[in-house]
Chain A
Amino acid sequence: MTEQLVGAATAAPPADRDGREAGARRTAQLRRWRRRGLLVLGWLAMLLLWEFGSWWYGSRLLPRPHEVFLKAVEIVESGNFVTDFSASVLKTFAGFAVAAAVGAPVGYLMGRYDYWRAFFHDGVTIAGTIPAIVYAVMSLIVFGLSNLGPILAVALVSAPYIALNVAEGIRGVDRSLVTMSEAFGRTPRQIRREVLIPTIVPFVFAAIRMCFAVAWKVEALTEVFGGRNGVGFQIRTEYQLYDIGAVLAWMFLFIAFMLVIERLVLFRAEARLLAWRPEERGTAL
């Protein structure tokens, strides 16, 4: 009966609703176009600034945008970027894996037990404030010129973030769910698997997303200091040849590539793992 009442109320739209909405729709359209225009304007301003810089410093010290673009095309066409890119990406992910393997358990302990929180807290926050260059050089000192250097640097930079985020996630666990589990006599292991871990997954993803942006930069930085392959190695080589155009070309290619990887790999995995979240309800149904 109530449904009928509701239905009756909405079943009679005002006759000229379309007419009155047209104006509003036009305004919205206009606003959208203005936004898009400004977005383009932002890119144009950046290019203009760049062009101005090249004119000011001369194209040897700052190559012009189209020169860099041509360089990038050249690099892509020659095909030798594949080995360097894959080397850099592999090292980044390896470092990440190490960071997760160390950082996640530490974060778990920190979130779960007061003792371990007191134990790790200072060290982890300090480790998080140390500049990346320190980690890069430290890794080189430990491993010398080898692929292990960048991996260690990435791990050192990322592990504190992951630990802090996991700890934050665990502390944010819904106490009432833990109570419920205990009331039904679940074992600590079951509670860990069914309550704690699902709770921290979003936090881990937040950490990974945040880290990833930092991690590949550190990876490249370490290769600049002492790598034998990879994007950073190429950037250093070109810099030593004073070919700034190539330096920038390598950098932009790497940025683009990493953004694509972030979208493809991380977003997908996140969407799949977090399907239960209410925001995703529309797709789940």
Chain B
Amino acid sequence: MAVLTVKNLAKTFNLGTPRASRVLDDITFEVRGQTFVSIVGPSGCGKSTLLNIISGVEEHTSGEISLTSDEGRPARMGYVFQDPRLLPWRSVLRNMMYVQDDQGEATVARARRYLDMVGLAKNADFYPGQLSGGMQQRVGIARAFAVEPDLLLMDEPFSHLDAITARGLRAQLQDIWAQSKKTVVFVTHDVVEAVELSDRIIVLQPGGRIYEDIGIDLPRPRRQTDPTVATLQAEVLARLEAMKELGRTTEPVA
């Protein structure tokens, strides 16, 4: 069944002031459990806003949004941000425990396990200031998985990293996801990355509407060197070129 349901969602910033700007407009989609969904679109089209609304950090202006969990408790969410967002005054492990409801031994062990998965088992007691940007981002990923979320949101988690680090982390993310099978909504502006990681790609167009919803049916694990992956990537890219044309022709009219 659907974990996340979004219906006719709209968002206008600075509502009721002269600076009002509509960012999302009539968004409708559902996300089923245990799938990896990417939301792709050029920067500024409202992807982060959409994630913030789903996570409850931001209010939506109108429309409906609901989250479901199977176990008779409020849905739990994990969020990996574009920047690491770690508390600089807490050690890595305490940063991971900060977002946990349960502070028991078992949870600590789970946090350590995810920390190990991202290769930072040895850095549990470091302060974030003592880690490189890539390491901090890995802590952010481990933190999000460690809350065992019903829905995991990721907002361009690799866009601030250099290409080599980002490729390593993408591979790591695929492995962790394969083991845990969380429901993921992954935001990126990078189509190639989206094809590599996801089961389904929702394309957002400028103005905040859904342009296309593409299923990606490729075997896992996927590697960038795999020709079938590359072919599909090229195909999706071509379809997005078409969207850019559309944006150009409709802009003056709107």
Closest CB-CB distance, B86 to chain A, in whole Å? 8
- Of B55, B98, B130, B153, the most chain A CB neighbours within 10 A belong to B98
The yes or no answer to B31 lying at the interface (CB within 8 A) is: no
B53-92 contacts to A, CB under 8 A, are 55-57, 76-79, 81, 83, 85, 87-90
B89 touches A184 (CB 8 A): no
**Which of B56, B76, B79, B90 is A180 in contact with, Cβ under 8 Å?**
B79
Closest CB-CB distance, A139 to chain B, in whole Å? 37
Known: A194-B87, A198-B89. A182 touches B127 (CB 8 A): no
B147 touches A184 (CB 8 A): yes
Closest CB-CB distance, B113 to chain A, in whole Å? 18
Residues of B within 8 A of A276 (CB): 88-90, 127, 129
Residues of A within 8 A of B85 (CB): 176-177, 179-180
Known: A180-B81, A198-B87. A186 touches B99 (CB 8 A): yes
A184 touches B127 (CB 8 A): no
A176 touches B87 (CB 8 A): no
Residues of B within 8 A of A183 (CB): 52, 55-57, 77, 79, 153
**Which of A177, A185, A194 is B77 in contact with, Cβ under 8 Å?**
A185
Residues of A within 8 A of B153 (CB): 183
Residue on A nearest B88 in the bound complex, by CB: A276
Residues of B within 8 A of A190 (CB): 98
Once the chains are docked, how many angstroms separate the CA of A186 from the CA of B98? 8
User: Is chain B's binding surface mostly helix, strand, loop or mixed?
Assistant: loop
Once the chains are docked, how many angstroms separate the CA of A281 from the CA of B127? 9
Interface residues on B, range: 20 to 34
B129 touches A278 (CB 8 A): yes
B11-30 contacts to A, CB under 8 A, are none
The yes or no answer to A277 lying at the interface (CB within 8 A) is: yes
Known: A194-B98, A276-B88, A277-B129. A176 touches B147 (CB 8 A): no
A284 touches B79 (CB 8 A): no
Once the chains are docked, how many angstroms separate the CA of A176 from the CA of B58? 12
A131-157 contacts to B, CB under 8 A, are none
Once the chains are docked, how many angstroms separate the CA of A279 from the CA of B95? 20
Once the chains are docked, how many angstroms separate the CA of A195 from the CA of B85? 11
Contact with A along B168-188 (1 / 0, CB 8 A): 000000000000000000000
Interface size on A, residues (CB 8 A): 20
Closest CB-CB distance, A84 to chain B, in whole Å? 40
Residue on A nearest B149 in the bound complex, by CB: A184
Residues of B within 8 A of A285 (CB): 130
Known: A182-B57, A184-B147. A281 touches B77 (CB 8 A): no
**Which of B81, B90, B127 is A284 in contact with, Cβ under 8 Å?**
B127
Once the chains are docked, how many angstroms separate the CA of A195 from the CA of B89? 9
Once the chains are docked, how many angstroms separate the CA of A176 from the CA of B82? 11
Residue on A nearest B129 in the bound complex, by CB: A278
Closest CB-CB distance, B17 to chain A, in whole Å? 16
Known: A194-B98, A198-B89, A276-B88. A185 touches B129 (CB 8 A): no
- Of B77, B83, B129, the most chain A CB neighbours within 10 A belong to B129
- Of A181, A183, A277, the most chain B CB neighbours within 10 A belong to A183
Residue on B nearest A285 in the bound complex, by CB: B130
A179-203 contacts to B, CB under 8 A, are 179-186, 190, 194-195, 198
Residues of A within 8 A of B147 (CB): 184
Residue on A nearest B143 in the bound complex, by CB: A184
Closest CB-CB distance, B218 to chain A, in whole Å? 30
The 3 A-B residue pairs whose C-beta atoms are closest, nearest first, are A184-B99, A183-B79, A180-B85
Name 22 interchain pairs, CB-CB below 8 A, sorted by A. Answer: A179-B52, A179-B57, A180-B79, A183-B56, A183-B57, A184-B77, A184-B78, A184-B79, A184-B99, A185-B77, A185-B99, A185-B101, A186-B98, A186-B99, A194-B90, A195-B87, A198-B90, A276-B88, A276-B129, A281-B127, A284-B130, A285-B130
